[in-house]
Amino acid sequence: MLFPGIVCLILLYVFLQQDTSSEEETFTITTIPQEQNEEVVENEATTNATIEQPKIEEIMVDVKGAVKSPGVYILTADDRIIDAIDRAGGYTEEAQSTEVNHAQKLQDEMLIYIPKIGEEIDQENSIGQVVVSSTAASSSSQGTKIDLNSADEAALTTLPGIGPSKAQAILAFREENGSFKTIDDLKNVTGIGEKTFEKLKEFIVVK
């Protein structure tokens, strides 16, 4: 009688030990060491910091005429004529500003001239601004001129007295009439008179 009792106790003890081990395994939780957590956070911060920010192109424009503070100002390629005028202190009371294209984007080396009321200006300047790029002048001094038969709108607007509207008129004339035979043919383009032609003839060529 004693031996079966001992066997039962042994079996009961083994059974209870297995149950306890199972519960301990069930509640085991794996944790990430604190040092590893800090390393992950640091790596994420470094990655975010290395994301390149878009570069803003800075340009310089010269504002003259009927503005309160004429001068050369640093702006960005995303700025407009109105931004340059604001930087120059705004218009004076004598400014003739009704025809100024305030929405036009700025270009590097641009000259913006605001005439006074009643001031006599030629047809190109009647819009209240003169856009001149020194690129055209420097190219001329080096013997490189703008070819009227191959230049695009961007190249044409670097010429003195030629804004976007006149550049488009030149391109339209070229499409309708073919290549320019001589630079004098430019005077046949709508909006380009003798005064405008005289300002830019030394900067152009036909090939």
The residue ranges of every structural domain in the chain are 55-131, 133-207
Nearest to 161 by CA among 146, 179, 143: 146
CA 61 from chain centre, in angstroms, equals 15
Query: Using 50, 70 and 90 to split pLDDT, how confident is the model at 42?
Result: low
Residue 102: what pLDDT? 86
Would you state the structure tokens that stand for residue 146, as one six-digit string?
Answer: 């703008």
Cβ atoms of 155 and 149 closer than 8 Å: no
Cβ atoms of 139 and 145 closer than 8 Å: yes
Q: Please say if the pLDDT value at position 14 is more than 50.
A: yes
> What distance separates the 2 farthest-apart alpha carbons in the chain?
134
From CA 143, how far away is CA 205, in angstroms rounded?
11
pTM: 0.41
Residue 159: what pLDDT? 82
Query: Using 50, 70 and 90 to split pLDDT, how confident is the model at 24?
Result: very low
Same topology, domains 55-131 and 133-207? Answer is no
Q: Over the stretch 73-121, which tens digit does the pLDDT of each residue have?
A: 999 988 999 999 999 999 999 888 877 888 888 888 888 888 888 765 5
CA dihedral 28, 29, 33, 38 (to 10 degrees): 180
Can you identify the CATH homologous superfamily of domain 133-207?
Tex RuvX-like domain-like (1.10.150.310)
Kindly provide the b/e burial profile for residues 176-189, where b requires at least 16 CB atoms within 10 angstroms of the residue's own CB: eeeebeebeebeeb
Nearest to 124 by CA among 70, 186, 194, 173: 194
Q: What class is the 55-131 domain?
A: alpha beta
Residue 50: what pLDDT? 53
Q: Please say if the pLDDT value at position 132 is more than 50.
A: no
Q: Over the stretch 148-206, which tens digit does the pLDDT of each residue have?
A: 988 888 888 878 778 888 889 999 999 999 899 999 999 999 888 888 888 888 889 99
Residue 172: what pLDDT? 92
